């Protein structure tokens, strides 16, 4: 009964936005395939996942016994909701030779958001809220992003659409021979552990490249003022206006406050855009559309977001002249613009 209800809801959403979604789905498939091309045929990472219900899933224990289907998704993502009936159907009919796991991207989502979404749509498969590690391992660039792993532990398919290609990959995954399962500790695509930086810590010695090709040294010795790192998404204001209007509003507020405060003498600014659903061209279009004047970099790997424990946009980190993070500004903080100005202008 719940599945039929979700199917009906998905059909209504699809009909009401057919043309825009057709374009988005095409680019989403291309972006997922491009990002996942290097993964095809490699041993899948042996990650240990924890569901929102406290269950531990050791992927290494599944390889050699079951095919594995991972779907990365988000509660605010329209195509994720459209495809959820297909995903639920695969889970309900999987059988013992296929493990089906939902991995929420963790981007602008909380456990409460995920639980509410699960209850509303009546989905029943195990759900993991990613801390960024799984997304980095499987080169997450869009939502939904499907990962199909054969019984031999090798990645067979990476894509965005719930179509015949995905269904064929699921059939092939179950039939994959198991005599090639590796006994190593993991595939070559396991992301290296990142050092986490929080308020009170000094910035790392990194120099991200801006979309104009210029390095931006986080610990520039020639700067005596504040540095502000602004974590953003170029589609936040537009796409989330309907699915997450409060977040969309916060993204607009942050952009407007940054535009006003970026004139502060002595301060350095860097906009760090998430690589989820974004390319360098998208970021350039965002800069042009809104007249953004600060340097921008695209965090395609997600390493900067993970290093600074950022899982929602907008977020700004205020760094003092000693390169120490002194304040973190998020969502509700933006209702008081003076707070951000005071932090930047303080000694």
Q: Is residue 221 part of a domain?
A: no
Q: Is residue 243 part of a domain?
A: yes
Phi, psi of 334, rounded to the nearest 5 degrees: -75, -10
Given this model, what pLDDT does residue 332 score?
A: 77
pLDDT band of 181, cuts 50, 70, 90: low
Q: Is residue 208 part of a domain?
A: no
Q: Domain range for residue 264?
A: 227-345
Q: Is residue 127 part of a domain?
A: yes
Residue with structure tokens 């779907």?
71
Average pLDDT over the chain, rounded to an integer: 88
Give this prediction's pTM: 0.89
Rounded CA separation 265/254 (Å): 19
Q: Is residue 201 part of a domain?
A: no
CATH number at residue 140: 3.40.30.10
Give the CB-side neighbour count of residue 22, counting CA atoms within 13 A: 4
Given this model, what pLDDT does residue 345 score?
A: 73
Residues 109 and 241 in one domain: no
| pLDDT tens-digit series, residues 71-87 | 999 999 999 999 999 99
Residues 294 and 152 in one domain: no
Rounded CA separation 345/271 (Å): 19
Residues 119 and 20 in one domain: yes
Number of helical (H) and strand (E) elements in the chain, helices listed first: 12, 12
Q: Is residue 12 part of a domain?
A: yes
Q: Is residue 200 part of a domain?
A: no
Rounded CA separation 230/317 (Å): 7
Rounded CA separation 345/335 (Å): 18
| pLDDT tens-digit series, residues 110-123 | 999 999 999 999 99
Q: Is residue 167 part of a domain?
A: yes
Number of domains in the chain: 2
Higher pLDDT, 200 or 346: 200
Residues 6 and 84 in one domain: yes
Tokens representing 129 are 């809220």
Residues 237 and 102 in one domain: no
Residues 40 and 100 in one domain: yes
């Amino acid at each position: 009964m719940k599945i039929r209800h979700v199917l009906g809801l998905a059909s209504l959403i699809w009909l009401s936005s057919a043309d825009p979604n057709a374009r988005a789905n095409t680019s989403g498939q291309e972006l997922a395939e491009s990002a996942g091309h290097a993964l095809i045929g490699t041993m899948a990472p042996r990650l240990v996942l924890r569901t929102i219900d406290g269950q531990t899933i050791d992927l290494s224990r599944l390889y050699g016994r079951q095919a594995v289907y991972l779907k990365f998704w988000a509660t605010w993502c329209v195509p994720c909701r459209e495809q959820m009936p297909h995903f639920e159907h695969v889970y309900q009919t999987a059988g013992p030779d296929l493990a089906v796991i939902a991995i929420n991207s963790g981007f602008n989502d909380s456990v409460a958001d995920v639980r509410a979404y699960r209850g509303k749509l009546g989905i029943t498969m195990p759900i993991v809220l990613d801390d960024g590690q799984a997304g980095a391992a499987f080169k997450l660039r869009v939502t939904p992003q499907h990962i199909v792993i054969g019984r031999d532990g090798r990645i067979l398919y990476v894509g965005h659409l719930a179509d015949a290609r995905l269904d064929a990959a699921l059939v092939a995954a179950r039939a994959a021979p198991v005599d090639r399962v590796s006994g190593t500790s993991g595939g070559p695509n396991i992301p290296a552990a990142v050092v986490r930086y929080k308020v009170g810590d000094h910035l790392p010695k990194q120099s991200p490249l801006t979309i104009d090709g210029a390095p931006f040294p986080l610990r520039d010795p020639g700067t005596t003022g504040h540095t502000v790192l602004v974590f953003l998404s170029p589609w936040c204001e537009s796409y989330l206006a309907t699915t997450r209007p409060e977040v969309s509003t916060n993204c607009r507020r942050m952009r407007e406050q940054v535009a006003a405060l970026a004139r502060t003498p002595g301060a350095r600014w860097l906009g760090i855009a998430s690589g989820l659903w974004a390319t360098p061209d998208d970021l350039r279009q965002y800069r042009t559309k809104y007249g953004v004047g600060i340097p921008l970099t695209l965090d395609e790997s997600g390493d900067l977001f993970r290093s600074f424990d950022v899982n929602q946009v907008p977020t700004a980190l205020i760094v003092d002249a000693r390169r120490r993070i002194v304040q973190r500004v998020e969502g509700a903080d933006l209702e008081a613009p003076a707070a951000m100005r005071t932090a930047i202008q303080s000694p």
